[in-house]
Amino acid sequence: MAKSDYYGTLGVRRDASAEEIKKAYRRLARELHPDVNPDPETQERFKEITQAYEVLSDSNKRQMYDMGADPFASGAGAGAGGFGAGFPFSDIMDAFFGAAGGGGRGPRSRARRGRNATIRVELDLSESAFGTTRELVVDTAVLCEVCTGSGAAAGTHPDTCDMCHGRGEVSQVTRSFLGQVMTSRPCPQCGGFGSIIRNPCQECSGDGRVRTRRTIKVRIPAGVEDGTHIQLAGEGEIGPGGGPPGDLFLEIVERPHEIFERRGDDLHCTVQIPMTAASLGTILTMETLDGPEELDIRPGTQSGQTIPLYSRGIQHLNESGRGDLLIHVNIETPSRLDAAQEELMRELARLRGEERPPGKFAPGQQSFFSRLRDAFNGR
C-alpha cells in the first residue's frame, strides 16, 4: 500500500504542533462526519482524515511516519481502510468534542434564568384613573448568600464528572450500513452539567437560591385597566445556580365602582331627575372622581339625553389627556299623586292640549317593518 500523505490530508505543515493537528482534524471532522454528511465519498474522506489524525496525534507513530514508515500501510494493527477494530476512539472523541468548546457543544451551565412571576393587584377606579404607588409583598427566590449561587458547600467546589470528564455528554459509536455513526446524549451521571456537587450548600440544598419574602414599592401609572400587565424587568425570582432573575408582572384587577361604569377611558353614570326639574331646568351637584361638581340641567332636558363632563374620565395611559364623564339622564315620571297634585297635572295637560295625545314615533326610531317597507319601495 502506498504511503499516504497524512499532513496533506489534514492540510497542515510538516512541523505543525500537536495543537494545530488537533484543530485541523476537528475542523475537518465536523464537516465530514457521517452524521452530518452520509454520502460514501465524504465517508471515505472522513476515514482518511481520521487515519491521518490517528497517526499524527500520537508522537511515537508520528515519529515512525516521519522516518518513512506508515503504521496503517504496514498491515500491523488495523486492517485495510484502517478505521475499525482496535481504534483508539477515546482520542478521536477527545478531538471531536474537545474541551476547548468550539462549536457550542459542551456541558450546560447550572445557571439558568429565573422564572417570571405574576401577582394580582386590586385597584379601585380612582387609583386606575390617577395612578398610585403600592408596596407589594412578594414571595420569591433570591441568591443564596452562603454559596453565592454555586450550590456547593462553603470551601468546596463541584467535582468534574468522571463519567463524561466534564463534557456533559457521552458519546457512543455504532456501526450501521452507512458506516460509523456517533451519537451523543447528555451525561446521565451529572445531568449534562459536567460536574457533580458532592457537598451541597446546606442553606439552599444546592439550588443556589433561597426563598424569601420581600417588599417592593411599585409605581402604577395612571390609565391602567382591568387585565393590564405591567412588566417589572428583573424583579422575578432569581434563576437556579445564580442565574439571572425573571421578570415580575403585575396583573391589574379593577374593582367595580358603585356609581361609574368604565368604558375605555370614559366613565358613564345615570342620574334620575324629577320630571319637573327636567322641564324647568336645575343645577345638580354631582360626585365625580375629582370631587363634587355642579351639573347644569337645561330646561326641557329629555329622558335618555347624555350630558358630558369633559376630561372627568380616566387619564389616558402613557398619553396626555383624559376621557370624559358621560351622564345619562333618566326622567322620573311622578306617580302616586295626591289629590292636589293630580288636579295640577290635569290642569297642565289641559293647558298643553295633551289630554288625549296621539302616539307618535320618535324621530330616527323607525320600526323594523317600516324600514322593510321602505326597502321594498326602493326608498
**Residues in contact with Zn ion by the rule CB under 5 A:** 144, 146-147, 161, 163-164, 187, 189-190, 201, 203-204
Judge whether 269 is annotated as a binding position. no
**Nearest CB to Zn ion, comparing residues 189 and 302:** 189
**Least distance to Zn ion from the beta carbon of 259, Å?**
54
Query: What distance in Å separates the CA atoms of residue 42 and residue 34, rounded to the nearest whole number?
Result: 7
164 is in an annotated binding site: yes
C-alpha cell at position 338? 295626591
Nearest to 62 by CA among 37, 25, 90, 113: 25
Shortest reach from residue 147's CB to Zn ion, in Å: 3
Closest distance of CB 106 from Zn ion, Å: 12
Q: Which residues pair with 49 in a beta bridge?
A: none
How far is the C-alpha of 186 from the C-alpha of 107, rounded, in Å? 8
Residue with cell 395611559: 317
In the complex with Zn ion, the residue whose CB is nearer, 141 or 147, is: 147
Tell me which DSSP letter residue 322 carries: B
Residue 4 CA to residue 276 CA, distance in Å, equals 114
Q: Are the C-beta atoms of residues 141 and 248 closer than 8 Å to each other?
A: no
Q: What angle do CA 56, 90, 32 make, to 5 degrees?
A: 65
- Compare residues 186 and 221 and give the one whose CB is closer to Zn ion: 186
At its nearest, how many Å lie between Zn ion and the CB of residue 174? 20
Q: How far is the CB of 158 from Zn ion (least distance, A)?
A: 11
241 vs 313, beta carbon nearer Zn ion: 241
**Count of Cβ atoms closer than 10 Å to residue 286 Cβ:** 18
Task: Pick the closer one to Zn ion by CB: 190 or 297.
Answer: 190
Within the chain, where are the H helices?
Answer: 6-10, 18-32, 40-56, 59-66, 89-96, 125-130, 275-280, 339-351, 368-376
Annotated binding site: which residue ranges?
Answer: 144, 147, 161, 164, 187, 190, 201, 204
Annotated binding site for Zn(2+): which residue ranges?
Answer: 144, 147, 161, 164, 187, 190, 201, 204
